A and B are shown apart, each in its own frame.
Chain A
Amino acid sequence: MAAIVRAHGVHKHFGALHVLRGVDLEVAERELVFVIGPSGSGKSTLLRCLNRLEEPSGGRIEVDGIDMLDRRTDINRARQRIGMVFQSFNLYPHMTALGNVALALRKVLKLPRAEADERARAALERVNLADRAGHYPGQLSGGQQQRVAIARAIALEPRVMLFDEPTSALDPELVGGVLQAMRELRESGMTMVVVSHEMGFARAAADRVVFMDHGLVVEEGPPEAVFGAPREERTRAFIRQIDRH
């Protein structure tokens, strides 16, 4: 199968801190890759390098055939193909749910307002929030806000979706709705890279689990293998630790 994401030997320094130390990651079309690892191991930095919210200090990154690190690449066009969902939702507080989803449709894809609104409504429908289109983020629960954020990303019909701990900021009773939206997205064939501690979701939905530590991919494989019979001691220690919670 064709790889949508090809990252090779990605390095990232923050000053003297060497956060990514040569990460390789390939994600095939329609694959759901789950990234786990201790705090500070570089998971968020890796995701943010993929759409160049962070500038990698070295390596190669290709997304849907586009060289993300080439100076000549139009980064704004490339980012249209990469949806991103953040731990803290980051909805625009001065716009309604519909406005949040429609903004990029109007200003990036340059769709006329009516068409943008229609597509935004369809995206909200997909995360079961059609009835909240007119609400402002402040009037929505955390779980609803995160689903609007998912709708905002998928409305652009990206080739791959990046999730950075999408449920970590949520009260436990709100996690289910977000995971449900992600599961439906996956069933629709979306390619996804998910950083999360939701092991149940990983076991049920992931094609592959990648364990990172200290800026390197330490181990990867199908969820049964990585969770059930990890080869590396560091992976074992990490999984013991999260299983206790």
Chain B
Amino acid sequence: MTGWERFADSFLNARVAAEYLPKIVEGFGLTVVLALCIIAAGLTAGLALAVLRSLGVRPLNWLIIFAVDLFRALPPLVVIALLYFGLPAAGLSLSGFAAAWLALSLVLMAFSEEIFWAGITAVPKGQWEAARSTGLGFLPTLRLVVLPQALRITVPPLTNRTIAITKNTALASVVAVPEILGAAQAGVSFGFNPTPLTLGAAAYLVLFLPVVVLGRWVETRFAWKR
């Protein structure tokens, strides 16, 4: 066997690929579901925290800032491990999927809160004053006047951060979630051949390349308006 043939037999083995493709496809589906759940929970919680913070209640804001800094400082894998291996000791055990979802949602919440907050504070004070002077209350002003402007400037950084954090779904393989990487690794150990990893990489590309391209488009589109 030449070097190339050996390489092809290891990484591009058609027989192994055919055998493990269904598992990878299942992993693909699981990754998509996990990512969507993280995005939904993380962005909602991040926005909710930013809105709470805008109320300007001192002790509450310290608490928010503490939580946000905590989850921005901890490596995501550490948060996943803590929730998966640590919580059972506290009498609460989570499935691998739930632990990965909760951990990455908390991380996305923390980063997106900072981005939403920056967006809210970037809206000029005159916008608040104009709306309040017409008799509009605090929350309607926030919702109808300030947030639409804030969200527009947060879209590019938010897109990038969301992509970065959703890629961490691969970390769920550590807590036995058969998402793409988990399925690929299982394939490698059972099939004694690393071809499933190649499939896994291809699956990640199929999933995230369009998202990255979309992110780039969003960034240029929102950059020059305003």
Contacts and interface: CB of A to CB of B under 8 A. Distances in A.
B127 A92 contact: yes
A123 B203 CA distance: 58
B189 interface: no
Nearest to B145: A92
Contact of B134 (A79, A88, A94): A79
A107 B132 contact: no
Contacts, number: 63
Task: Please classify the interface of chain B as helix (H, G, I), strand (E, B), loop, or mixed, using the class held by over half of its residues.
Answer: helix
Interface string B137-164: 1001000110011001000000000000
A84 B133 contact: yes
Interface string B93-131: 000000000000000000000000000000010110111
A37 to B, nearest CB: 21
A53 interface: yes
A94 B153 CA distance: 12
Interface residues of B, number: 19
A83 B124 CA distance: 20
Contacts of B127: 90, 92
A244 to B, nearest CB: 31
Which residue, of B135, B144, B226, has the highest number of chain A Cβ atoms within 10 A? B135
B152 A92 contact: no
B136 A107 contact: yes
A93 B135 contact: no
Contacts of A149: 130
Nearest to A51: B133
10 contacts: A79-B132, A79-B134, A82-B133, A86-B129, A90-B127, A92-B149, A94-B152, A103-B134, A103-B136, A108-B134
